[in-house]
Structure 1
Amino acid sequence: MAVKPLPPLQLTFDALGFGPDMLDKVPHVFKRKKGKSNPEPTACSADPYKLCAFRCQRQLGFRRSYALGEYASFALKYTELPEGKRFRDFAYCIIAASAVSERYFLKPEEIFVEKRDHIEISGARHIAQHLAVEIGRCSTVMVGQVFDRHHASVRNAVDRVAVLRLASPALEAEVSNLENVVLDLWALADEGESLRKRIALIA
């Protein structure tokens, strides 16, 4: 007797430790596809950005790690290297972007370049901005300059992640883990000073 494969969504929940019955407990978002009489689940409230499934898919392929300097170099295409408190915010944004990118196997250009039709990458970018503002206490103006966004868009992204965290145990677990990673990286980077030296070497 052939074993019926688990739905990808359930595999995501199993990876997060929610157990085999999680799929029955969460409300799904259904979308009716053209030419199909039955709607198919495309997302659910437990994984609103589909990031967990996205990570599972991408980790199957080879994705090389990128250094902080590579993220900084890409971000500097959009803004000039700031000084003082603004450099501190810049460095924190780079570290947040790096942590989120490594988590979901993104390239530097993916976390910084706008892709409105790609919910997973947009979600990862929203989380990086959320971490920079809420944990790093960075200004939305500086975060907007680093990610090439208007400060109002950054504020919307930060607030959206905050709301979704309350509704989604999976997203709360993801972002809480990333908070700890960013704090560790920030300490290892000597609160941004080692990144300043690295940028000087690259330049």
Structure 2
Amino acid sequence: MLNVTIADYGVGNLHSLRRALERCGANVEVTSDMRKVTEAECIAFPGVGAFDKVMESILPEKDDILDRLRSGIPCLGICIGMQILMDGSDEGRLPGLGFINGRVERLKAKQIPQMGWNTVVSDDPMFDGIDNRFFYFTHSYYGNPTERSTIKGYCEYEGIDYSIFFRKGNFVGSQFHPEKSSRSGMRFLENFIQFAEGAL
């Protein structure tokens, strides 16, 4: 059974992600001790919070977390938990982890945030077995990597295509919230757990 450690940034409700991962067959621990995150078998960075607030919690262990990511630890980043993997964000002033080169930028849209269901366009294996590609979004910012090879999925919002799904090494990052995306989201998490187990 895969052991997943969810990083608790001190903001938001982590219950839905924990419950979803457990339903998909993982053993889940939630911790605000970032030293435990650096020792995890598999990391999950959840999707609630503001960029600087999240990074304030992570910065003391930034180098060790980055070392683990570079060494190939399986990791899932959701929404803000994906955005913190980049160099920085228009939302805040603190640096990100810098695992993926590029910045988080504000959506170029009239209606912000994007809140609700939208179609994900991707042929990545993480979407195997998912016929309904509607996933739940709630965000005002998106990842725009200079490492274009990390972009593995898009969605269209107000006539513009935005990058919203990323892969690098054993890191998987989504702008959407799989834990809030019904059956499609559960299958996505099942696929991630199977991937993470194979990466260990």
TM-score over 0.5 (shorter chain): no
Structure in which a larger fraction of residues adopt strand: 2
> TM-score by structure 2 length?
0.29
> TM-score by structure 1 length?
0.29
Structure in which a larger fraction of residues adopt helix: 1
